[in-house]
Amino acid sequence: MLRLLMSYLFHWFKRVASSAVSRNGSNDRYTENFSSRDDSDSGRWTFVTIFIVFTLSLYSLAGLGYYAKVHVWDGFTDAEKTSMAQAMIVASQNLN
């Protein structure tokens, strides 16, 4: 899965880089693109791009959550954990 994700990421980067070069007025006849699919996808967010951004965002949030659990929550005593859990229960009951 990671190999596929990296393949899509590098393909997306290659398309962005090639479109940036072509916008700078480069008329190199050897870099002409003959694929009509790449021409139609050059200016929009594709499903794969959105999926990559979403997956990397989830990965970042999961890493931050794990960091908070290991470095903050595990440092509390059992009494502090119990009082925080009860405070969360009261807060959720007030929302209903």
Provide the domain count of the chain: 2
Write down the pLDDT at residue 35: 57
The per-residue DSSP string of 32-82 comes to ----HHHHHHTTS--HHHHHHHHHHHHHHHHHHHHHHHHHTGGGS-HHHHH
What is the pTM (predicted TM-score) of this model? 0.43
Same-domain check for residues 38 and 52? no
Going residue by residue through the chain (96 aa), what tens digit of pLDDT does each one get?
A: 778 777 887 888 788 777 655 555 555 555 555 555 555 555 567 888 888 899 999 999 999 999 998 888 888 999 999 999 999 999 988 876
Same-domain check for residues 22 and 64? no
User: Tokens 């959550």 — which residue?
Assistant: 65
Same-domain check for residues 51 and 35? no
Q: What whole-number distance in Å separates Cα of residue 8 and Cα of residue 48? A: 7
Same-domain check for residues 8 and 37? yes
- Under 8 Å between Cβ of 46 and 38: no
Question: Residue 73's domain spans which residues?
Answer: 45-96
Same-domain check for residues 88 and 63? yes
Same-domain check for residues 53 and 92? yes
Chain centroid offset of residue 61 CA? 9
Coil, strand or helix: which one is 84?
Answer: helix
Same-domain check for residues 50 and 96? yes
Same-domain check for residues 35 and 50? no
